[in-house]
Structure 1
Amino acid sequence: MKSLFCLIFGLLSCYAQAQKFTIDGSIKDNATGETLIGATIFNPKTLQGTTTNTYGFYSFTQSRDLVYLRVSYVGYGPVSLKFFLSRDTTINIGLVYESTLKEIVIEGKAEDRIQESTRMGTIDVPLQQIKSLPAFLGEVDVLKVLQLLPGVQSGSEGSSGLYVRGGGPEQNLILLDGVPVYNASHLFGFFSVFNADAINRVELIKGGFPARYGGRLSSVIDINMKEGDVNKFRGEGSIGVVASRLTLEGPIIKGKTSYIVSGRRTYIDAIASPLIRIASDGDERAGYYFYDLNAKINHHINNKNRIYLSAYSGNDKAFAKSEYDNEGSDNNSKYEEALRLGWGNITTALRWNSIITNKLFSNVTATYSRYRFLVNAQSKETTTSPDTTISEFYHSEYSSGIRDFALKADLDYVPNPNHFIRFGGQLIDHRFTPGVLSYKSTDAQDTTVGAQVTHAKEFFVYAEDDFMVSPRLKINAGIHASGFVVESRFYKSLQPRVSGRFLITPDISVKGSYARMTQYIHLLSNAGIGLPTDLWVPATSKVRPEHSYLASLGAAYNYKNAYEFSVEGYYKEMEGLIEYREGADYLNVESDWQTKIETGKGNSYGAEFFMQKKTGRISGWIGYTLSWTYRKFENLNEGRRFPYRYDRRHDIKVAAVYEWRPNREFSMTWVFGSGSAVTLPKSLYAAASENPSPNSRTGNYEYYGDRNSFRMRAYHRLDVSYTTTKKTKWGERSWSIGAYNVYSRQNPFFIDITGGGGRKPKFVQYSLFPIIPSIAYRFKF
């Protein structure tokens, strides 16, 4: 009996030790209640941990025992917990923001380090760094900061377009609260549509794509809006050289329901329009402005359910109007002309978060997205004579756009610390309007020409698991299956995704990844600076989808928990790319766009080096990219491979923020890029034939040779900013003084050929921006 008692006692002890319980909850900003995405929960005793998902939820299973937990997030003071775990427990934790977080040295294994993650090509830029870096004309711009990262090209001078690892702007999936934004540019590409004051988090994924993302080839830019302060009313804003913005947030029901509203508008029209009118003696009026408006409501139904409603609306509007009188001896004529140009986005998301169990979390989202471009032109001539009055008019309107309705379900399942499983799916209803021209005049009835509206259905399902094979080996593997139905044609694609890391030492790891991506929509682009005339078109029965294959291999190193180093090599193949044929563009609406394109393929390969410091009085990063990017089309360049327009051999980015006093901050960025590829004539000659017609400026015929066979001069630029901040009775105010292109480098914007009239032809480089100073007043209350 004594032996039996000892055996039973031993078995019960083993059972008690083997019992596992789950700790779940959310991590938030202690002051505002704002969700902290990607916060780390780590047990230094068991060397196990997890992170919060996109909605701040975490689940962590441990054995029945005394548990030590450390909770941390960049820019916030860490929190340590110690308690005995004897049952499933819910712990909601609030972290305190620290403007300058000193480096923390942790004995043993540290958490949330670059070498621990399985993901490659993923960079999470702290929002405070985004706001602290120099801003063009004082306007903080999320996309311009992302251009400072390795593997990301900026395109033309001042443009907010992104060219990631050899891809075009249409190959970037830009999400705002989970809703795709199809045109992310204002002012012909010089500003992005994202107001930094309304943003909670920005993440760039350019390789090692998780299975939950799809529909694009080159990158994912995942942007989450703030949820609004659930505890108190607050606001912030700024007054700059070209625009002002204001953000208000606060509780509707304290501790339960919150809101945030953020708006921005330029006043270029208010400055330029009166000057134009004075210069034309009142005969001409013209102007331009853009605006953005973000809004979001967040409601806690109970501890397990929350709903969100978010919306964004932004528009660019340009106009010109002129009136002239022509008085004659017999009659008088009056001419009136008007042109209006506008483009913009609307996005809306209704989201329901639910904690189904302490290990299973669901997110269901219904979304709406619309992008539209519109040109309206009209003219009128009225002739008055003693006997009669004759009026003639002409009116035309050109429009294009894309509209989406979508429903998506995502589920996160965390059975134990060694597995993080995600699965779900989405259904999208597309409507494409590639370009429609309608016109009428005195002599013509209403007439409409152009491409037909096309409807399409896109769907996908996915499953992925981020799992620990051993303490050294961790893998993220998944599958993304998608389909596209258009014009009675059904395209389908099975896209495997896998990435992993192997720890060589606790501070050094090697990583590898492979991803296949499929894109069912195309962008027909006339220029590289994000002009609104670019047309979104679908894969059709004649035009196939785009596909890519991306493989990456690299290494990551964490030095004393203060500096992160990474090197990553990649190779990408792309097929199904489209471009306009020689001489074709969007204006010829009488012919179908499918008859005006060429289909081809491309590849890109290179290496990226990145060093980042996220905390401390000095923070920032240094990045270097060595890359090659090519395109090949059967009927372009005689079928020979040619460099992509934004192929740059060398690309260097430096960004730094130095807080030399608690209320004094200096920041700078410096960029260098090899010259972009351009097509220029290789020779000029006189010929007897009538076609092609000679260049009117030089009087000669031009021979171009291979496409993009010339290079512009190298591009480099230094931007600086100095910010002083002061606490006031009502809150905080700051002045920011900066300069774009400090040493006034004459960087190439485009190259033209001049000559003729007896002068020797020559190439002339045109630059856009010299040194541009800026000043901005910012405030918080």
Structure 2
Amino acid sequence: MRSTLFIIVLLVVNSPLFSQGSANFSVITIRENAIKVGDLLAEITRQSGADFTYNSLVVDSDSVLSFKVKKATLEETLDLLSEKIHVVYTIVEGQIILNFEKKVEPPKYFTLSGFLADQSSGENLISATVSVNGTGRGVFTNEFGYYALTLEEGEYTIKSSYLGYQDTQTKVTLDQNLKKNLLLPPAAIGLPAVIVHPPLEDIQNKKQLGRLSLRSEELNNLPEFAGESGLVKGLQTLPGIKMHSDGSSFFYTRGGERDQNLVIIDDAPIFNPSHMLGFYSLVIPDFTKDIQVYKSDVPASMGDRLSAIVSIRTKDGNLKKGGFSGALNSFVNRLSLEAPLVKERSSIFLSLRRSNYEWLYKNNAENIDLYFQDFQFKWNYKVNQNNRLFFTLIQSGDVFENRAGPVSGVRWGNLASTFRWNHIFSSRLFANTTFYTGNYAYKLQIPPNYWQSQLSMFSFKTDFTYYSNTNSIANFGLEMQAYFNNPGSISFDPTVDLLPEITNNYSRKTAFYYQASHRLTDRLKLNTGARVTIWSNLGPKTYFGFDENYNVNDTINVTAGIYNSFVNADPRLSLQYSLDSTSQLKLSFGTYHQYLQLISNTISPFTAFEVWLPASPNIEPQFASQWAINYLKYFPIANMEISAAAYYKKFRNQIDYEPYSTPYLNPLLEGELRFGTAQSYGLELLVKRDFGRLNGWISYTYSRVFRETEGINDGLTYRAFQDRPHDFSLVLNYQLKKRILFTANWISQSGSTFTSPTGFYTFHEQKVPIYGERNNDRLPTYHRLDVSWQFTLNRKPDNKYQHSLVFSIYNALAHKNVFAVKFNKLLQDGYGPKIGANVLSDQQLSPSQIDLVRFFPSLTYKFKL
């Protein structure tokens, strides 16, 4: 037994290649600056006892290399050898086999792309989610419903989702670039679309911080004023957006002026979106498909405004079947028609609206005309799978006329049109080229003369979106605009030279922009971008130079061509971090310039006499920089989200006015403008529930706005008109029964600032007010409750003919909301009528408050076929 064990030990000690692992105990040292591969292999064999097996096609034994190891194991020596001569080795039964190095094929990537549309109508869906099921990889459809998702070769389950639609899952095999149009069926539920259950997607794919959205269903469900709900009333319920007053479509965003917001419909600007002195807005809810509100981190492709961009995309029209809808009311009627021209390829959408106030006054005032009207039209045509054409036309007008009076009335209106071409160059490169126009004109008629003003523009824009991969998307393009501006002129008898001549303004703007979105990690997303703008003033033009006291010191006459220009670059940067699957944080910074400004030294909501002036030698472009931080938390169980935003904005070149300035028919108007700085800051909170029997949102805003202007308020800081610290809104939808929907809208906000007299003195027996600090006073707090009940008349939700009755009450609590304060004289020691301050008297002045609407009910019949 002992002799057998001794023989086994002896064989192990004297046989280094007895097993595969025994060779690893060899110690090898080789130091050669130049050695043939064949000699190297022989040396390794000598020191380790390992034999090599190889083909001469694999190893060139005559090639020379440098090889140095010291006290290395066989495994370490072979690893270095493999690296030097580009082979792989295996040890089989004591033999080292050398073979060709295996080449690792790089992964192949292919792109899945196409359009996502409503299954029942063919309408493309904006900002819908297309993602790989079970992962965080996904994209949003763009403004035309296009998506592109680049993935490694393989099989995937693609999930598509959109609020108000059923989720769909599609299996695809990606072994080549694949074009696939996806369809989503509307959610089969009898309740209004506003309470349809949304998809519970990963929060990283579901939300885009810094941007607010409104859907046409949400606008339609808001309580109506005299038969119509509107865009501006919907915007006023969102945090950070403040209304002017009753009877006004003006709104203010994060401390900016009213002209620092831009409303665009299919990219065409709407310079005055109001009707009936602000009680209505020209945007018809039925005509809209998607409304996006940008208050911070504004895309570089959009501009140029300092406060907010409201981008509205209109419906394309049903590609599969015709439809007819409308709303009838004692005050406003509207009708909409959509129909396919060529099934699945071309369709139209048409909306008409007109007020109906004649029955209120015609019997007693037959010379009065009081009405507004809208015409909105959309046409689209699918040329082929890579090309699509769109045409949009918006026309609106208001008429206030009294043919029997010395001033017959005023007219104003908007005209905007867009011609658009979508082209897919490749699955990853999407292009949108647009020609669009915008025009706003108004006229005050004083027969046989009139005063008129006009702002017109024509633009060309080509925009590209490049889907580099799943983690990176770039957007870049070029925009060119030409402006014509008549700041106000009046026609009189040409033989009478009574009024100064106001020359027209011609301007041109060229903008280049680039923006990219990068997903750095599964949780971290970076957006970078910049917008470079070149603004040019064109002749012929006569303008004036002013000295430091704002007196004219020069008159300049220029001929055709560029006589002044500005070049500005505005960077955009944001960083978004997902704290977990249901919450995220975003920090953003951006700078903005504005080259058109509205000149008006009144805070009245009723004036239509607006003067627009371009940036020029006397008016530098307005500027703002903004820091913002956003937080969002989503609660899947409660189907609720909570968001918060804090911001700080700094403004330069903000316009104010010399006391008693005259903005109309004034060739020296630029000399009455004063320029200064402003700053605003605030906190915005939003709690929203999109679906369920009880749904809606609550918003609260705390914000402050302060200005500082040389020559105004002794150069000291003062509150801006739009400084309203507190703003609270509640929108509540409650499904009382299957066919009864109750909606309430409560708004409460601090009153606007105004300048009130601090005392009076007598001059020539006339009481003259003494004013102190600018905006030293504040109107009473604004409160308003609107309610509505919607009764669905058809018993079955799937009936072809859908109709309902909506009963609404505007200002249901009849609260007196003051929009102005006037100081009037009291005659007869306080008895008798109040008369304007132009009456010579030593009677004391007394303030009076003016409000507009208290408790206004309406009944509307709506139908859809």
TM-score, normalised to structure 1, is: 0.89
**Aligned counterpart for 1:295 among listed residues 377, 380, 390:** 377
1:310-459 paired onto structure 2 within 5 Å: 310-322=392-404, 337=406, 339-378=408-447, 395-440=448-493, 444-445=495-496, 449-459=500-510
Mapped to 2, the partners of 1:661 and 1:37 lie a distance apart of 31
1:598-637 paired onto structure 2 within 5 Å: 598-637=674-713
Q: Cα distance 1:216–1:320, how it changes in 2: closer, same or farther (>3 A)?
A: same
**Aligned counterpart for 2:790 among listed residues 712, 723, 740:** 723
**Aligned counterpart for 1:15 among listed residues 91, 94, 105:** 105
Query: 1:433, 1:452 within 8 Å by CA — same for their partners in 2?
Result: yes
One-letter identity of the residue aligned with 1:426: E
Query: 2:288, 2:315 within 8 Å by CA — same for their partners in 1?
Result: yes
Q: After superposition, what is the alpha-carbon deviation per residue over 1:234-253, rounded to whole angstroms, capped at 9, x for unaligned?
A: 01110123110001110111
Shift of 1:450: 3.9
Shift of 1:593: 2.2
Shift of 1:343: 0.6
Q: After superposition, what is the alpha-carbon deviation per residue over 1:34-57, rounded to whole angstroms, capped at 9, x for unaligned?
A: 111100011133320001001110
1:772 aligns with 2:856: yes
Single out whichever of 754-763 and 715-724 deviates more from structure 2. Answer: 754-763
Mapped to 2, the partners of 1:268 and 1:203 lie a distance apart of 33
One-letter identity of the residue aligned with 2:595: Y
1:517 aligns with 2:570: no
Shift of 1:321: 1.9
**Aligned counterpart for 2:527 among listed residues 462, 476, 481:** 476
Query: 2:232, 2:249 within 8 Å by CA — same for their partners in 1?
Result: yes
TM-score, normalised to structure 2, is: 0.81
Mapped to 2, the partners of 1:35 and 1:105 lie a distance apart of 18
Query: 1:376, 1:396 within 8 Å by CA — same for their partners in 2?
Result: yes
1:128-143 paired onto structure 2 within 5 Å: 128-143=217-232
2:610 is aligned to 534
Query: 2:680, 2:706 within 8 Å by CA — same for their partners in 1?
Result: yes
Shift of 1:80: 1.3
1:280 is aligned to none
One-letter identity of the residue aligned with 1:704: Y
1:330 is aligned to none
1:592 aligns with 2:668: yes
2:4 is aligned to none
- Residue segments in structure 2 that go unaligned for 5+ positions in a row: 1-53, 56-86, 91-97, 539-562, 831-843
Q: After superposition, what is the alpha-carbon deviation per residue over 1:404-441, rounded to whole angstroms, capped at 9, x for unaligned?
A: 11100010000111011100010000011001112128
One-letter identity of the residue aligned with 2:752: S
- Residue segments in structure 1 that go unaligned for 5+ positions in a row: 278-284, 323-335, 379-394, 695-699
1:138-287 paired onto structure 2 within 5 Å: 138-277=227-366, 285-287=367-369
Q: Cα distance 1:144–1:10, how it changes in 2: closer, same or farther (>3 A)?
A: farther
Q: Cα distance 1:62–1:313, how it changes in 2: closer, same or farther (>3 A)?
A: same
2:13 is aligned to none
3-state secondary structure, aligned to 1:276: coil
Query: 1:236, 1:246 within 8 Å by CA — same for their partners in 2?
Result: yes
Shift of 1:445: 4.2
Shift of 1:9: 12
3-state secondary structure, aligned to 1:228: coil
Shift of 1:110: 5.1
One-letter identity of the residue aligned with 2:748: F
Single out whichever of 571-580 and 410-419 deviates more from structure 2. Answer: 571-580
Single out whichever of 336-345 and 405-414 deviates more from structure 2. Answer: 336-345
3-state secondary structure, aligned to 1:136: coil
**Aligned counterpart for 2:175 among listed residues 86, 108, 126:** 86
One-letter identity of the residue aligned with 1:775: L
Shift of 1:82: 2.4
Mapped to 1, the partners of 2:89 and 2:183 lie a distance apart of 47
Q: Cα distance 1:8–1:141, how it changes in 2: closer, same or farther (>3 A)?
A: farther
1:582 aligns with 2:696: no
3-state secondary structure, aligned to 2:492: strand
Shift of 1:295: 0.7
3-state secondary structure, aligned to 2:757: coil
1:383 is aligned to none
Mapped to 1, the partners of 2:457 and 2:565 lie a distance apart of 19
Shift of 1:112: 3.6
Q: Cα distance 1:662–1:359, how it changes in 2: closer, same or farther (>3 A)?
A: farther
Mapped to 2, the partners of 1:96 and 1:5 lie a distance apart of 58
Mapped to 2, the partners of 1:224 and 1:604 lie a distance apart of 30
Shift of 1:146: 0.6
Mapped to 1, the partners of 2:660 and 2:682 lie a distance apart of 32
Shift of 1:270: 4.8
Mapped to 2, the partners of 1:96 and 1:702 lie a distance apart of 67
2:809 is aligned to 739
Q: Cα distance 1:407–1:476, how it changes in 2: closer, same or farther (>3 A)?
A: same
Q: After superposition, what is the alpha-carbon deviation per residue over 1:22-70, rounded to whole angstroms, capped at 9, x for unaligned?
A: 1000011111111111000111333200010011100001111221221
One-letter identity of the residue aligned with 1:113: K
Q: Cα distance 1:527–1:89, how it changes in 2: closer, same or farther (>3 A)?
A: same
Task: Between the two structures, name the one with larger relative contact order (CA 8 Å, sep ≥ 6).
Answer: 1
Q: After superposition, what is the alpha-carbon deviation per residue over 1:65-86, rounded to whole angstroms, capped at 9, x for unaligned?
A: 2212211111111111223322
Shift of 1:770: 1.0
3-state secondary structure, aligned to 1:638: helix
One-letter identity of the residue aligned with 1:584: S
Query: 1:113, 1:558 within 8 Å by CA — same for their partners in 2?
Result: no
Query: 1:247, 1:263 within 8 Å by CA — same for their partners in 2?
Result: yes
Identity of paired residues, percent?
27
Q: Cα distance 1:722–1:450, how it changes in 2: closer, same or farther (>3 A)?
A: farther
3-state secondary structure, aligned to 2:161: strand
1:464 aligns with 2:515: yes
Query: 2:374, 2:395 within 8 Å by CA — same for their partners in 1?
Result: yes
Query: 1:237, 1:247 within 8 Å by CA — same for their partners in 2?
Result: yes
Shift of 1:135: 1.6
1:713 aligns with 2:803: no
Single out whichever of 525-534 and 741-750 deviates more from structure 2. Answer: 525-534
Query: 2:652, 2:676 within 8 Å by CA — same for their partners in 1?
Result: yes
3-state secondary structure, aligned to 2:303: coil
Query: 2:485, 2:506 within 8 Å by CA — same for their partners in 1?
Result: yes
Q: Cα distance 1:522–1:110, how it changes in 2: closer, same or farther (>3 A)?
A: closer
3-state secondary structure, aligned to 1:727: coil
Query: 1:185, 1:530 within 8 Å by CA — same for their partners in 2?
Result: no
Shift of 1:271: 3.3
Q: After superposition, what is the alpha-carbon deviation per residue over 1:640-664, rounded to whole angstroms, capped at 9, x for unaligned?
A: 2211112111110111112233422
Query: 2:163, 2:198 within 8 Å by CA — same for their partners in 1?
Result: no
Q: Provide the aligned length of Structure 1 versus Structure 2.
A: 726
Pairwise CA RMSD of aligned residues? 2.3
**Aligned counterpart for 1:648 among listed residues 703, 724, 733:** 724
Which of the pair has more CA radius of gyration?
2
Mapped to 1, the partners of 2:334 and 2:102 lie a distance apart of 66
1:572 is aligned to 649
Mapped to 2, the partners of 1:252 and 1:539 lie a distance apart of 45
Mapped to 2, the partners of 1:730 and 1:67 lie a distance apart of 38
One-letter identity of the residue aligned with 1:315: G
**Aligned counterpart for 2:388 among listed residues 292, 306, 323:** 306
Q: Cα distance 1:597–1:766, how it changes in 2: closer, same or farther (>3 A)?
A: same
Query: 1:630, 1:647 within 8 Å by CA — same for their partners in 2?
Result: yes
Mapped to 1, the partners of 2:242 and 2:400 lie a distance apart of 28
Single out whichever of 462-471 and 267-276 deviates more from structure 2. Answer: 267-276
Mapped to 2, the partners of 1:401 and 1:567 lie a distance apart of 40
Query: 2:524, 2:575 within 8 Å by CA — same for their partners in 1?
Result: yes
Mapped to 2, the partners of 1:616 and 1:627 lie a distance apart of 32
**Aligned counterpart for 2:576 among listed residues 475, 489, 501:** 501
Query: 2:137, 2:470 within 8 Å by CA — same for their partners in 1?
Result: yes
